[in-house]
Structure 1
Amino acid sequence: MDADTIELGIRATPGDRAQILPLENSEPPNSDTYNFSQRQEFSLSPVDGGRDAWLFLAAAFMVETLVWGFPFAYGVFQEHYSTHAPFAGSRNIAVIGTCAMGVMYLSAPLVFDLLQRFPKIQRPAIGAGLVTMCLGLGLSSLSETTTHLIITQGVFYAIGGSLVYSPTILFMNEWFIQKKGFAFGIMWAGTGLGGVIIPILLQFLLSKHGFRTTLRVWVIVLFICIAPLTYFLKPRLPLSQSSHTRRFDLSFLTSRAFLLLQTGNVIEGLGYFVPSIYLPTYALTLGASTALSALTVIIFNVASVFGCVFMGTIIDKYHVTTCILLSTIGSTIGVFVIWGLASSLPVLFAFCIVYGLFAGCFTSTYPGVMHTVQREKASVDPCMVFACLAAGRGIGNVACGPLSEALVRSRVWMGEAGGAYGSGYGSLVVFTGLTAMLGGLGFVDV
């Protein structure tokens, strides 16, 4: 057999050291072209720990902080756009923020499929996404209408963010196995941290320089912070050299477990984003200053940092339905009791803490969903399960914008009830509470 046609296999040793060896059925190569005693070797970095894994997780945490922290802090922009020219009085302002997050969520299955079909573009996609995000925000600084903002700060930013974020999720699935829930919890805590730091910066810039300068400054911050991280955002396993198109097993889409968990995921997503959008404007009705109104978003995001880390830790130890039930009970009580009766800033701040802890950690249950679905059918790609869960959350997120706009305009129970129920935001409280409660649907029978 000619040495050029010998098939090579990869065998893993107990120390996770891989050796490239001829397959058992192949003939030994010609000694002139290959010294069989000199085996070609390469070392894989340790999984679930080690310097490379922790550096990757730190980089992923920062990407999460910057890419998702910005749209999650949109409540600050919402308040500014609603009260300043040229957007004051415009409809669909809330759609800008929900569009940015929604498109990132909804595009996940397509982007994940593309990146896994063509593994060689995974790392270049991160750079392309960064440029697209910066371009979108740069163009949004020139906007004169809410339509322009929806296209640039919403759609363009989301496309770029998805290209940066999706490869990070794929690589995470290689770097962490037994500690997958913990790693994802740490990573997703970055959204909360971004929601703490970014609103403060944005609020300062918006009040001093307006939205145009603010967006341009953020473009510079985004590029300077993410560009160096691309060095650490790399796969643990060597890329496949196969040219064959990979076919994914999507049969899990019709399984009972996935359908129940996904239904709860979509419903929870319908109401989850409402408080982060409207808390600043509701705080203003309670007499809060602009700075204190922004503090509602900050407190919510601080609490979600701890919630994500805690949920990520327990999701590796307990069944996913137990973790979802915990999130559901805490967030439902928080909405109906604390926000519903909030007629002062201290009570509203208490709600921000409770809601951040229990609702903010809901996505940290995704590794548990991935494990549950994969346990039913081993051939399922867990990353595609995640992509479909993200898309489901995106459905709720996109629908949340117009639904919340319609609900807040209805002004039901205004002046007829106490607390937030009679403030004109009562319909939002009830809607958020019901969706939080129904988000635990997966607990019924999985």
Structure 2
Amino acid sequence: MDRGFQAFAYLVGAWFIELMVWSPPFSYGVFLNFYTTDPDLKRYSSASLALVGSLASGVLYLSSPIVLLIINRFPRHKKTAMILGITLCVSGLTGAAFSTKNWHLIITQGIMYSLGGSLLYFPMSTYLFEWFSQRRGIANGVMYSGTGVGGVVTPFIVENLLGKYGRRTTLLSLAVAFLVFTVPCLPFIKPRVPVAQVVEVRSINTAFLTYSSFWILFIANLFQGLANFLPSLYLPTFASDLNLGTTSGSLALSLINGASVPGLIFLGWLSDLFDVRWSILLSSLGSAMSVFLLWGFAETLLPLLMFACAYGFLAPSWSALWPRFVATADGDDPRQASTLMSIFLGGKGIGNALAAPIASGLLHPWRLTNKSHTIYGFEGYGPLIIFTGLTLLMSSMGTGYRILERKRSLPRPGPE
């Protein structure tokens, strides 16, 4: 079979897996809005219910270094890990359908699902560095766009199913859909080089830990992860507090996910064409300004939807820059590259896992918010909006990755 067609088939299969793994966590804002009124769950605070969504994405990212360390050591078992991942994801969604307490949801929809997603997603993603050496940024952007496409339709599907059939039927339907769309992709997710040729056991070169460029990009990525998830998590609730209805919140969430599709492809293309610092600057400053100027002053539907479009195009698109971060931090070898990729994913996971606890503290009805109209931000959301914007601004520090860079004895991998 032609190698170009095989690479295309891999990218299509990876796109569908990306869509199915990330759509439920990125649509959790709709679940959160419903759970606060669910007879079995409404007695729990929104902060404890928000933790489920934070874990669903945060643990998925955080587990990446461990999963990739194991599969790089035992590459023959990548397919086994993916099958186990599908099983855990389906089991987590099914278990959440029958949950009656918040800790049930934390274990099933929060932890089981995210661990399963990690075992499915990260072995699949390692093949990207084998199939694509040039235009890796845009290939990564296309793959990540699956999340955005799924996120366009998933909030509306979930909202309609929850409204008509309730939580149990909705989660069971998602479990069945997960099986239907992921299992047929498995035959196309395979390495370019036969496994027998890459099993050689070598230690990972950790010299990148001495490079200031790696640490600057890692810290910038951590800040971006801390802010990135918050609008998606709270926009449906924010829209309800504005009395705009649940459909408006789902529409805003859908626009964030939908706008990320062209955003991911554009920033991936831009990072291949120019120095990655321009892409970092566009994503960080642009998304921060959309938070401060649009979300901060939104009290009607139009500015809220404008914010969703602008933020969706610029903030989630940060993920398309990771291959360029990897190349900058000394990751040309496929095994080395996947290890570095897992570190940047893990950094974002730390931010995502911390996002919900921090946000719940900022939204707590203490004297600085008190759930009342304030000078900035609607109904006490001001501190959350300011925190989101400031952390996005901090991610722009990634543009300084060359300022303190140590000179290396080996030449730096340049743009491909």
Q: TM-score, normalised by structure 1?
A: 0.86
Q: Would you say the 8 A contact 1:319–1:368 is kept in 2?
A: no
1:398 is matched with which residue: 343, 353, 357? 353
Aligned pair in 2 of structure 1 residues 303, 245: CA closer, same or farther (>3 Å)? same
| Aligned twin of 2:75 | 119
| Aligned twin of 2:407 | none
1:326 is matched with which residue: 260, 275, 282? 282
Structure 1 counterpart of 2:9, one-letter code: L
Q: Distance in 2 between matches of 1:132 and 1:330?
A: 37
1:227 is matched with which residue: 180, 183, 186? 183
2:33 is matched with which residue: 64, 71, 79? 79
Q: Would you say the 8 A contact 2:129–2:334 is kept in 1?
A: no
Aligned pair in 2 of structure 1 residues 298, 242: CA closer, same or farther (>3 Å)? closer
**Local SS of the residue matching 2:273:** coil
| Aligned twin of 1:444 | 400
| Aligned twin of 1:151 | 107
Deviates more, 1:377-386 or 1:316-325: 377-386
Q: Distance in 2 between matches of 1:442 and 1:265?
A: 8
Identity of aligned residues (%): 36
Pairing of 1:366-445 with structure 2 (within 5 A): 366-374=322-330, 381-410=336-365, 412-413=368-369, 414-415=371-372, 417-418=374-375, 421-445=377-401
Structure 2, gaps ≥5 residues long: 403-416
Q: Does 1:269 align with 2:225?
A: yes
| Aligned twin of 2:7 | 53
Deviations 1:100-127 (A, max 9, x none): 1111111111111111111110122111
Deviations 1:159-185 (A, max 9, x none): 111111011111111111101111100
Aligned pair in 2 of structure 1 residues 380, 202: CA closer, same or farther (>3 Å)? closer
Q: Distance in 1 between matches of 2:14 and 2:259?
A: 20
Higher relative contact order (CA 8 A, sep 6+): 2
Q: Distance in 2 between matches of 1:243 and 1:379?
A: 12
Q: Would you say the 8 A contact 2:214–2:401 is kept in 1?
A: no
Aligned pair in 2 of structure 1 residues 415, 218: CA closer, same or farther (>3 Å)? closer
Pairing of 1:46-445 with structure 2 (within 5 A): 46=3, 50-91=4-45, 92-240=48-196, 245-374=201-330, 381-410=336-365, 412-413=368-369, 414-415=371-372, 417-418=374-375, 421-445=377-401
Pairing of 1:33-44 with structure 2 (within 5 A): none
Q: CA deviation at 1:241?
A: 5.5
Q: Would you say the 8 A contact 1:267–1:396 is kept in 2?
A: yes
Q: Distance in 1 between matches of 2:309 and 2:72?
A: 38
**Local SS of the residue matching 1:381:** helix
Structure 2 counterpart of 1:67, one-letter code: V
Q: Distance in 2 between matches of 1:94 and 1:400?
A: 10
Q: Distance in 2 between matches of 1:201 and 1:232?
A: 28
Q: Distance in 2 between matches of 1:243 and 1:273?
A: 37
Aligned pair in 2 of structure 1 residues 347, 253: CA closer, same or farther (>3 Å)? same
The structure that has the greater radius of gyration is: 1
Deviations 1:380-416 (A, max 9, x none): 8111111000000000000011111111114535545
Q: Larger helix proportion, structure 1 or 2?
A: 2
Deviates more, 1:241-250 or 1:75-84: 241-250
Aligned pair in 2 of structure 1 residues 149, 379: CA closer, same or farther (>3 Å)? closer
Deviates more, 1:433-442 or 1:239-248: 239-248
Q: Distance in 2 between matches of 1:324 and 1:364?
A: 10
**Local SS of the residue matching 1:200:** helix
Runs of 4+ aligned residues of structure 1 deviating over 2 Å after TM superposition are: 240-246, 377-380, 410-419
Q: TM-score, normalised by structure 2?
A: 0.92
Q: Distance in 1 between matches of 2:286 and 2:234?
A: 20
Aligned residues: 398
Q: Would you say the 8 A contact 2:297–2:378 is kept in 1?
A: no
Structure 2 counterpart of 1:341, one-letter code: F
**Local SS of the residue matching 1:88:** coil
| Aligned twin of 2:411 | none
Q: CA deviation at 1:418?
A: 4.5
